[in-house]
Structure 1
Amino acid sequence: MSNEAPVTSALAASLGARPPLPPPHAKIAIPRQRSNVAQKHSRRVPRACESCRIRKTKCSGDTPLESDSGYVSNDVSSERTLPADKFQEAADEQASEPSSVGSLDALDKVEYDVNLNNQSRATGYIGKGSEITWMQRVQKETEQRRRSQSGLPDPSGGDEDNTTSHVFAPPEMNYHLDDFDIGVSEPVQMYWVPSRPLADKLFETYLRVAHPYFPIINRPLFCDQYGRFFDSFALPGDKWMAILNMVFAIAANYAHVAQLEWRGNPQDHLLYLTRARMLSMSGDEVFRHPDLQQVQVEGLMAFYLVSTDQIHRAWRISALAIRSAISLGINLKSSNQMISNVSKEIRNRVWWSLIATENKLGLMTGRPTCISVSMCIAPLPLPFEENNLQEQPATSLLNDPGLRDKHVNNAMASSYLRKTHFGNSNNERDIPSTLEWLHRLPVSPGLYFLYSCDLTMLMQGLLDRVYAANAVHQPWRNLKDRIGEIQARVDLWISSLPRGLDFTRTDDADQGSDEKRRLAFQYYSARIMLGRPCLCRHHKNDAQKHSNEEQAFTQAMAVSTIESAVQMAHLIPDESDAGLSAEVRPWWCLLHYVMQTLTVIILELSFSSVHMPKEEGNLLQLAKKCIRWLARTSKHSVASHRAWQLCDSALRRLAEPLGFDVSDLPSPHYEPGQHVHLDPLGFPAMEGHVTAVDDNPIPEFIMADPVEGSYGPLSMPPAGPSVGSRTNPPFSAAGHGVGEGSFAHDPISESFVEFFFP
């Protein structure tokens, strides 16, 4: 199958119909001049034109000249601004446009002042691919349905942008926590660490719940370093310490999300984050040239910020990590003979860990990512754990690039989308023959990570080609072809899954259940993103405007989106499995998946289930299930509580006009007199009340007791360096401390410190 984009019929017709140029000095007929003065009308139209919406003026239905607005109208009446040979093409494009292309029905533009206040700045610009924008659409649809059914007048007079944009603006729909501070008010001892028992629990938790998604550290090497660090009480380099503190921060946050019995102070994770910032991203450190350890620190910070619902901050730090990695060439295939093959593979996993996080942030924010499909030249990760990279069959693939291409790279669905064919295989029909080797491998986190990266690349292709800002200028037939192409790749991806990872099978549900669940969430989220542009309201003139093929495609993709949301809702634990909510993978972005599911289901309900009318009752029950999940998790999360309020209010708006019974849903509002104290990231605070940043200061941090609290007496000596101090390191034995050079070696290279003491 050719990967070249086909020339559209409209473009071909336009090029073929171009009249020949007149001969030199020939007379050219000048058409009769038309008056530019439009006849005034007092009427209003159901929807204002683009120009009037931009100027926020009343619209009479006449199309003004667009030469001053900076926008080119898609309306057929823009004939006056188009050359004659381009008019037919514009008309063809207009005829192929659906009545409402979901989140793609308008130009990417900012409808509110992002710099207005702290809340708007913390939210930032939110693009059309984000579930926050989808929730904005949901709220508008449910309010419109409520007013229509109740006989209330539309206060916007049909021009929803003039009236409702400020009511349902993204800052009002944003359920994330970027408007909260992430600092601590007390001085922080930069080199202090938790006691060994607590540190072991944190480290083991990180390796269990974060490393499978994000293998950015060399697990066997870092484990060795970790043991030597605590056994000898030596002080390693600052960046290694920053990596360790980020590992602790991620695990401490999870301990409170999962409500583990051994969890300590709810703000411990903020302490670890602050130490990591002081050790690696303060002062001159930000302006120094990055090394591999700095890439790891920045990547871990981005992952941590996503897991704590700090999406805006995560998006910025992730871009920094990506650029640091690119500056070191980690995105490319390495041919350096001085670096061992194992070290090359570890660096390769660093890159794919960053790609996974950046792509997820692009999906969550709707913003352009700092990556593209074409720049990911590094080979896909091998389907093995780090502990097995020096054993067969991993060594065979590491030593033979051609064999690696045959067994791994050419077998992946995204290799053809990237147009970077590996080896000599250039035909999709060769894929089944290359899958046999992969299908014989046992289920492992490494095998999961390979297929997860493959699907991530397909979603990056969707962001690049469909959800990009300039995609709105494409006719619908072109976008339809792009969606269909990526859909074919996603179908190829799921058909190529090994039996142990095939979550659609029910006969061996226990085998690799954790890896299956992770891939299931990612897959159904991908299908939602694919079909979301087609989930739109039907209009009476659709049959006249669109061909049967276009209508069938739009209907099929809308149904696929809803069915994917239904499958995702089934993956979410119900009330009987309340204790399993924290253990559900992927815990670090589960709220994002729940909100994707709810926005799709509630939006379809607001359309009177036009795409799946027989499933309305089932959709309502699944919406209630997800809302109850938000209610349960909101006990320990401000983000869940905000999401609960948004979704509950939208469903209740639909209840009366559509006859839904929502009396069995809990109310998201506190009872009179009830007050819950929460820390900046949504966990119950020890005491005091935490408010948003720029409102009131964060309360003084309650330090744990140095003997009986979260920190052991060995880890918290009576005297030591405070914020910014690098003298008298607390870890020294009989005056024999270890200098900066001993741990300055990169944690993902081959060797380690030969000795700790002279």
Structure 2
Amino acid sequence: MGSLEEGRANQGFFGSSSAAGFMRQIKIAVDRRVSSPERHPSSSNRALGSSLLSNRNEKHQSTVAAYVLPPRRTADSLMEVYWDYVFPLYPFLDSGLMKGEYTKIWRGDSLQYDENMVMCTFNVIFALASQLADFVPPREREAAADAFFSRAKGLFQFNLWATGSAGLIQCLLLMAQYLQSTDSAHQCWIVTGLAIRNAQSLGLHLPQTIARFSTFQEQQLARKIWHGCVLMDRVMSMTFGRPAMISKISSGDVPLPVLVDDEFIPVNTTAEPTQPTQKISIMAFYAKTLELYEIMNEVLLSLHKPISDDGPDETHQFYFNSTNSDGEHTIFELDHSLTRWAQTLPAHLRVGSTAAVHNPVFFRQGIVLNARFLHVRILLFRPILSKYCTMRESLRRNSTIAISDSLPHRVALQCSIICVKVAQESIEMIYNNVPGDGTGGPLPAWWYNILYIYTAATVLIAGRLCSTISEEITDSSMTRSWNCALDILRKYQSYSFSARRCVAALEILYEQVVAEGHQPNEQSNSHGLLNDISFGEGMNTEMMEAFEFPDFQDMSWLNSVPSNLF
């Protein structure tokens, strides 16, 4: 039925619909009617919201700590990778606090916060950095990262029956980040959900909770943590095609983090600080990413859902009708939102800007943000491309009806062409920024590159299915984009088993499209193609037995993601 005891910190936050919330309201009313000098008004959530960084319920430390750290030089190098390569994109931590704790570890000083959680978090950071560090050979990264993550799991203490903490949520967000680089897709989904639920139990989804924190440093950290949950929730929803946990309203209630770097936020002050005028904050990237991913969430809610296959009229009604219900948006409205988002980008986050060229952090932020923007645009137009390709046979059979001359058909065609061209742009952008020396360069993490390239490559395959699209985009252009996509994925074959499976799946799909194009009335023998395909290292026919080869009258394969290949 819910907790009835109000004001207990270990119970967490309770909203107005809960029994505890109702009892709190009754108690306030009673206190007002029956007042005395000794009685003070109830403030049930003050204990919960007074401090985000307190050590309440966190000082749990083993009598004999079983901490293992890598050699100092290795640890320093991995931390440098995290702060330079990961943190500017995912500022889930307070950099000043965590750097201070890291220094204390090597000095042998007592830590300010829960020691187990801090050591667990550092091992997750080491694991994440091992997957991205240029000084770790690609073939050794998985084993090195897994060793650190195993240590983190051994230190991780999660009590299902107790309220979480800021440190716990931050650690869970980092774990979710790391698990994206592994084959543990389900665990990534679950860990993200745990982070969100613990954040909500602390009331971090409410602006009034954050306003009660005693210092601006804590308020800023609370905003960063909550919006980190929002960001990972949106990414998981997009990647797995599952409903988001955080509603549109809840995601926007809490203000975005202010555009001030951690180093310029005083420790014990309630006043809102300002960024020095001569220094651009790295937090602008975080804010624009969150804005972009809210548009992406609108795309997923409005366009990526089952629709009728009855005919072109239903397709037009679904994608282009301006009277969609339940807050849904048409493709035109969503495209306009993306256009406005791009127009409001700060100068230092625009690809090729002067500020970005002279600053490696801003240069990479601009590249990563552009890659995300292009991927969202693909997600926007891909449902129409999928439906358009599915309709092509019905158009042939009903050639006496001039459907091809109708406005909905023309709009669908143009949207499909745009989708293919955006996919080409995405591939070209990543291809042009892949360093030749095997380093990570300014691109997103390699597991995101695999997702972006796989998505774009499947769009190219769909484009080859429709002659009307091919008429607008030359074969030489499509061939170049296709070869670049496979070239990129082959570079990542030594990083990940999923990259090898993506290459194999794409080549099989492509061969089937070519076979169908030459023999439209015959069922292509997909398994017969296996011996003619050049797989990545370690690939063989047994490895492909798990693939379900598509019927090209059903375009559901176009909406697949690499995680579906396992």
TM beyond 0.5:
yes
Contact 2:368 2:443 in 1 (8 A): yes
Cα distance in 1, alignment partners of residues 309 and 273 from structure 2: 43
Could you tell me how far 1:658 is from its partner in structure 2?
Answer: 5.3
* Equivalent residue, structure 1, for 2:130: 252
Could you tell me how far 1:651 is from its partner in structure 2?
Answer: 2.2
Could you tell me how far 1:443 is from its partner in structure 2?
Answer: 4.7
Cα distance in 1, alignment partners of residues 175 and 479 from structure 2: 38
Could you tell me how far 1:546 is from its partner in structure 2?
Answer: 8.4
Residues 3-152 of structure 1: pairs in structure 2 closer than 5 A: none
Q: 1:652 to 1:496 in 2, by over 3 A?
A: same
Contact 1:348 1:378 in 2 (8 A): yes
Contact 1:605 1:616 in 2 (8 A): no
1:510 to 357, 361, 365: 357
Cα distance in 2, alignment partners of residues 467 and 491 from structure 1: 20
Q: 1:548 to 1:668 in 2, by over 3 A?
A: same
2:474 to 593, 612, 615: 615
Cα distance in 2, alignment partners of residues 577 and 672 from structure 1: 25
1:477 to 294, 300, 317: 317
**Secondary structure of the equivalent of 1:585?**
coil
**Secondary structure of the equivalent of 1:330?**
coil
* Equivalent residue, structure 2, for 1:223: 99
Could you tell me how far 1:523 is from its partner in structure 2?
Answer: 0.5
Normalising to structure 1: TM-score of the pair? 0.53
Structure of greater Rg? 1
Contact 1:280 1:286 in 2 (8 A): no
Residues 262-301 of structure 1: pairs in structure 2 closer than 5 A: 266-281=142-157, 285-301=159-175
What is the letter of the counterpart of residue 552 of structure 1? R
**Secondary structure of the equivalent of 2:420?**
helix
Q: 1:380 to 1:386 in 2, by over 3 A?
A: same
* Equivalent residue, structure 2, for 1:455: 292
Could you tell me how far 1:565 is from its partner in structure 2?
Answer: 0.6
What is the letter of the counterpart of residue 201 of structure 1? S
**Secondary structure of the equivalent of 1:308?**
coil
CA deviation string 1:56-89 (max 9, x = no partner): xxxxxxxxxxxxxxxxxxxxxxxxxxxxxxxxxx
* Equivalent residue, structure 1, for 2:374: 524
What is the letter of the counterpart of residue 349 of structure 1? K
* Equivalent residue, structure 2, for 1:50: none
Q: 1:581 to 1:642 in 2, by over 3 A?
A: farther
**Secondary structure of the equivalent of 1:313?**
helix
CA deviation string 1:221-244 (max 9, x = no partner): 110111012112657521122111
Q: 1:213 to 1:462 in 2, by over 3 A?
A: same
What is the letter of the counterpart of residue 578 of structure 1? G
* Equivalent residue, structure 1, for 2:27: none
Cα distance in 1, alignment partners of residues 185 and 164 from structure 2: 23
Is 1:533–2:373 an aligned residue pair?
Answer: no
Cα distance in 2, alignment partners of residues 531 and 582 from structure 1: 29
Could you tell me how far 1:671 is from its partner in structure 2?
Answer: 8.2
Contact 2:176 2:191 in 1 (8 A): yes
Residues 332-731 of structure 1: pairs in structure 2 closer than 5 A: 332-333=206-207, 334=209, 336-376=211-251, 377-390=253-266, 443-468=280-305, 476-480=316-320, 481=322, 482=329, 483-503=331-351, 510-511=357-358, 512-535=362-385, 536-537=388-389, 538=392, 539-540=395-396, 541=398, 544=402, 548-573=406-431, 577-579=435-437, 582-587=440-445, 588-608=447-467, 610=469, 612-655=471-514, 667-668=534-535, 670=537
Contact 2:490 2:499 in 1 (8 A): yes
Cα distance in 2, alignment partners of residues 671 and 275 from structure 1: 30
Could you tell me how far 1:653 is from its partner in structure 2?
Answer: 3.2
Contact 1:574 1:625 in 2 (8 A): no
- The alignment yields a C-alpha RMSD, in angstroms, of 3.7
Could you tell me how far 1:259 is from its partner in structure 2?
Answer: 5.4
What is the letter of the counterpart of residue 528 of structure 1? I
Q: 1:508 to 1:653 in 2, by over 3 A?
A: farther
What is the letter of the counterpart of residue 290 of structure 1? G
Contact 2:141 2:495 in 1 (8 A): no
What is the letter of the counterpart of residue 653 of structure 1? Q
Could you tell me how far 1:319 is from its partner in structure 2?
Answer: 1.1
Quick check: 341-350 or 380-389, which moved more?
380-389
What is the letter of the counterpart of residue 355 of structure 1? V
CA deviation string 1:569-625 (max 9, x = no partner): 112236984325622421141111111111111111132462653323201211111
* Equivalent residue, structure 2, for 1:79: none
In structure 1, runs of 5+ residues without a counterpart are: 1-188, 400-436, 674-758
Is 1:305–2:176 an aligned residue pair?
Answer: no
Cα distance in 2, alignment partners of residues 622 and 672 from structure 1: 23
Could you tell me how far 1:379 is from its partner in structure 2?
Answer: 0.8
Contact 1:573 1:581 in 2 (8 A): no
**Secondary structure of the equivalent of 1:624?**
helix
User: In proportion to residue count, which structure has more helix?
Assistant: 2
Question: Greater relative contact order: 1 or 2 (C-alpha under 8 angstroms, separation 6 or more)?
Answer: 1
Contact 2:503 2:536 in 1 (8 A): no
What is the letter of the counterpart of residue 294 of structure 1? L
Q: 1:585 to 1:632 in 2, by over 3 A?
A: closer
Cα distance in 1, alignment partners of residues 211 and 87 from structure 2: 27
Cα distance in 1, alignment partners of residues 479 and 138 from structure 2: 38
Cα distance in 1, alignment partners of residues 452 and 384 from structure 2: 19
Contact 1:573 1:580 in 2 (8 A): no
Could you tell me how far 1:548 is from its partner in structure 2?
Answer: 3.6
Cα distance in 2, alignment partners of residues 288 and 275 from structure 1: 23
**Secondary structure of the equivalent of 2:180?**
helix
Contact 2:500 2:536 in 1 (8 A): no
2:73 to 187, 197, 206: 197
What is the letter of the counterpart of residue 579 of structure 1? D
* Equivalent residue, structure 2, for 1:322: 196
CA deviation string 1:652-701 (max 9, x = no partner): 33446658xx9xx982155899xxxxxxxxxxxxxxxxxxxxxxxxxxxx
What is the letter of the counterpart of residue 495 of structure 2? H
**Secondary structure of the equivalent of 2:357?**
coil
CA deviation string 1:159-193 (max 9, x = no partner): xxxxxxxxxxxxxxxxxxxxxxxxxxxxxx94212
Q: 1:495 to 1:672 in 2, by over 3 A?
A: closer
Cα distance in 2, alignment partners of residues 583 and 666 from structure 1: 30
Contact 2:420 2:459 in 1 (8 A): yes
CA deviation string 1:445-483 (max 9, x = no partner): 211111111101111122223225689999742443422
In structure 2, runs of 5+ residues without a counterpart are: 1-64, 323-328, 519-528, 541-566
> Alignment length, in residue pairs?
439
Cα distance in 1, alignment partners of residues 138 and 426 from structure 2: 31
**Secondary structure of the equivalent of 1:289?**
coil
